[in-house]
Chains A and B, each alone.
Chain A
Amino acid sequence: MAVRPVLIYPDPMLKQVAVCVLATDATVADLVQDLVDTMAAAGHSVGIAAPQVGDLRRVAVVDVSASKLGQQQHHHGLLEMINPVIIERSGSRVFREGCMSVPEYTGNVTRAEHIVVEFTDRQGRLRVVESDGFEAVAIQHELDHLDGRLFLDRVSSLKTDVFRRKTR
């Protein structure tokens, strides 16, 4: 369909909470396709959420299959997620995250290593997917966008993690 421009912070849209997609929303498939096209056009991107293209509906796509890290793990290929909700999370894993909407800044973020996410796919089927590692991190990063949350809100610094704790 169309590659859309990716919004860059401080665009206020990126801090909005997106709204649930209604079952009667006939245009959501177009949005899903635009997200897939925009993600592909961005080259090394492994995911994008609707607010990043200026649409405040709870839709995100993730596809780690083309990335080096993704190829080292079991993954689910292209995930088209409408109204996604993480229903289980466990473990933790640190990645140095960057984001198309926050260029030139990266930060260490701790996220769940293992998640179970429930969503409706483009065909309207309810799906429940278990995901680990990089794919799970990518899903959590994109779903954060639906709540107006950027990775900057989750950065855990080395000093804070290790040294700021009182030793006695």
Chain B
Amino acid sequence: MHHFALTIVGRDRPGIVAQVTEILFNLGCNIADSSCSILGGQFAMILIIAHPEFIDRASFGAAFQPLEEADLTVALRVLKAGGELHPDLAGEICMISVYGADKPGIVYHVAKVLGEKKINITDLNTKLVGSGQRPVYVMMIEAVLPASVSEQDVDTWIAPLRDQLQVDISVRTIPQVEL
């Protein structure tokens, strides 16, 4: 079965999910993994979908036209074989909270350290909170630590950013248990 990555973004209002999934249901598409969220005033949907017969973009015809007409931006990516499979990310799950007065480069500098150390980010959320005069930036990262990396290592590598960016950072692993 061919898989596709579908992203839909538009001004948030009730009914977007219903409109999108009605189209997918009527096409006979399966929704595998998906994540949808409000970002700012926009609602963003990211879905991995599959269809037993569809093989390319053209297979969908004009099915998403009603979404475009409803002011939603639709993008479809055809996945190569195996692109739908979740990699087996073995390792400890690590949560990194970064927050402080808003300034440029918070995400970049933290992500750069993690990327250089080959730490895979599996989830990242940021939000601008606080008042207009005193904006506060909050970032939450979930990452998977390679076997050779400890919570302490991550903290040590990230520590210089506390002064450099004037932010608070905490690093903690979440124990994984099979019960």
A residues apposed to B, CB below 8 Å: 44-47, 67, 69, 94-100, 106, 108, 134, 137-138, 141-142, 151, 158-159, 162-163, 167
CA distance A163 to B127 in the complex (A): 7
Tell whether, in the assembled complex, residue A96 and residue B179 are in contact, meaning their CB atoms are under 8 Å apart: no
Q: Which 8 A-B pairs have the closest CB atoms?
A: A141-B179, A96-B176, A98-B178, A96-B174, A167-B129, A95-B175, A95-B177, A163-B127
- List residues of chain B with CB within 8 A of the CB of A137: 177, 179
Given the known inter-chain contacts A159-B37, A162-B138, please indicate yes or no for A98 contacting B125, CB distance below 8 A: no
Q: Which residues of A contact B37 (CB under 8 A)?
A: 159
Contact B127 A97 (CB under 8 A): no
Give the shortest distance, in Å, between B132 (CB) and chain A (any CB). 11
> Contacts of A97 on B, CB cut-off 8 Å?
176-179
8 A-B pairs whose Cβ atoms sit less than 8 Å apart in the complex = A69-B175, A95-B174, A96-B174, A97-B176, A98-B176, A100-B178, A151-B179, A162-B125
**Closest B residue to A133 using CB positions:** B175
Task: Report B144-178 residues with CB < 8 Å from chain A CB.
Answer: 174-178
CB distance from A149 to the nearest CB of B (A): 13
Complex Cα distance, B92 from A69, in Å, reads: 13
B-side contacts of A95, CB under 8 Å:
174-177
Cross-chain contact A108 with B179 (CB below 8 angstroms):
no
Decide: B129 and A162 in contact? CB cutoff 8 A: no
A24 to chain B, nearest CB (A): 31
In angstroms, Cα B93 to Cα A134, docked, is: 16
Distance, CA A46 to CA B179, complexed state (A): 6
Residues of chain A contacted by B140 (CB below 8 angstroms): 158, 162-163
Query: Min CB distance, A84 to chain B, in Å?
Result: 15
Q: In the assembled complex, which residues on chain A have CB atoms less than 8 Å from the CB atom of B95?
A: 158
Q: Which residues of B contact A46 (CB under 8 A)?
A: 177-179
Tell me which residues across on chain A come within 8 A of B93, comparing CB atoms. Answer: 96
